[in-house]
Chains A and B, each alone.
Chain A
Amino acid sequence: MSPLRRRLLFGIPLALAVAGGGSFYTILRRMQEQKYDPHALPSPLIGKRPPTFSLPGAGGMQGFANTDIAAPSKPMLVNWFASWCVPCLQEAPMLAKLAASGLAIWGIAYEDDPQALAQFLAQNGNPYQRLAADADGTTAINWGVYGVPETYFIDKTGIVRWRYAGALTDDVVASALNPLLARYS
């Protein structure tokens, strides 16, 4: 074997190791910057309508059914949350900001106690135009919700375009939500 061939052959494992290392570094860096979450799951609802449901109101507000969000006049968010959920507390200021900017947000309180919910809304503000209660979590299972908070973006035709599991942050709004609003408004 010529020395050049030999060197090339020895170079293959090295190149693979470098490529692997580079990939791992990129993954870890993106995780650190919160741009990549390995636990995030794609929602099977994307590109579809929410499943059939009809939930009673909560916090003294009107509840809603799937037919009420079948054709909103402009894009909207459906936000699943609970008073017992810490990230929901962290996301409350962001929801308030989005609501103030004119975005319609409808809430669903997941397995929540009415009193605790009322207290949560009194303390953290109420960004919701409508607020429903999914007391036993059945509707959540039909939506494929696996934790709170989860936020769904629904376009004008009532199709789910995006699902975010976790608290909405400035980063998420800037990198994901704003482009969606620009695209579907």
Chain B
Amino acid sequence: MRKLWLALALLPALALAQDMVTRDGVTLTQAQETRAEAIGDQLRCLVCQNESIEESNAKLAGQLRGIIRQQVVQGVPDQSIMNYMVQRYGIFVLLKPPVSPLTWLLYAMPVLALLLGAVAFFAARRGTAPPAPLTDAERARLDELL
């Protein structure tokens, strides 16, 4: 009976131990790892600039993955981890650039293009005069064809 209680008492610890993973030198729970991956997916690898640091094989990307995981284990909020990276590498490290004076043209471009197209379209239409009425000869020819 005592053995059973002991086993039951150890069960959560055992489950927890099975749930642990080690990535880039940091041991963390599967939930923490998922959180870390979600953060890393949003960060650009500075070495191979079209990959996220989760995808990259570069050594620096591995070090940054380790830093993210350490901070996740310490309970640092996502936004603070992102700020940590932006502070060091600039907004270029973010795969999705924030709306700022530097990027507003980028985000405004679809709307601007639509407006420009609309202006061109209506300008072209306004200039179109209604076609002149048919002359008697043309009407006669039309009747003949129909």
Which residues of A come within 8 Å of B, CB atoms? 1-2, 5, 9, 12, 39, 41-44, 137, 141-144, 146-147
Contacting residues, chain A, for B64 (C-beta < 8 A) = 141
Give the CA-CA distance A44 to B102 in the complex, in Å. 14
Give the CA-CA distance A147 to B49 in the complex, in Å. 12
Quote the shortest CB–CB distance from B85 to chain A (angstroms).
9
- Taking a contact as CB atoms closer than 8 A, the residue among A12, A43, A137 that contacts B90 in the complex is A43
B130: CB under 8 A from chain A? no
Quote the shortest CB–CB distance from A139 to chain B (angstroms).
11
Contacting residues, chain A, for B63 (C-beta < 8 A) = 137, 141
- Are A42 and B90 in contact, CB atoms less than 8 angstroms apart? yes
B75: CB under 8 A from chain A? no
**Most chain B beta-carbon contacts within 10 A, residue among A5, A9, A144, A146:** A146
B67: CB under 8 A from chain A? yes
- Are A1 and B124 in contact, CB atoms less than 8 angstroms apart? yes
Which residues of B come within 8 Å of A, CB atoms? 46-47, 49, 60, 63-64, 67, 86-90, 92, 120, 124, 127-128
- Judged by DSSP, the binding face of A is loop
Give the CA-CA distance A43 to B124 in the complex, in Å. 47
- Are B124 and A144 in contact, CB atoms less than 8 angstroms apart? no
Contacting residues, chain B, for A1 (C-beta < 8 A) = 124, 127-128
- Taking a contact as CB atoms closer than 8 A, the residue among B88, B124, B127 that contacts A44 in the complex is B88
Give the CA-CA distance A41 to B67 in the complex, in Å. 21
Name the CB-closest residue of A to B48: A39
Quote the shortest CB–CB distance from A115 to chain B (angstroms).
20
- Are B90 and A144 in contact, CB atoms less than 8 angstroms apart? yes
- Taking a contact as CB atoms closer than 8 A, the residue among B67, B86, B90 that contacts A141 in the complex is B67
Contacting residues, chain A, for B60 (C-beta < 8 A) = 137, 141, 146-147
**Most chain B beta-carbon contacts within 10 A, residue among A9, A42, A137, A141:** A141
Give the CA-CA distance A9 to B119 in the complex, in Å. 12
Quote the shortest CB–CB distance from B71 to chain A (angstroms).
13
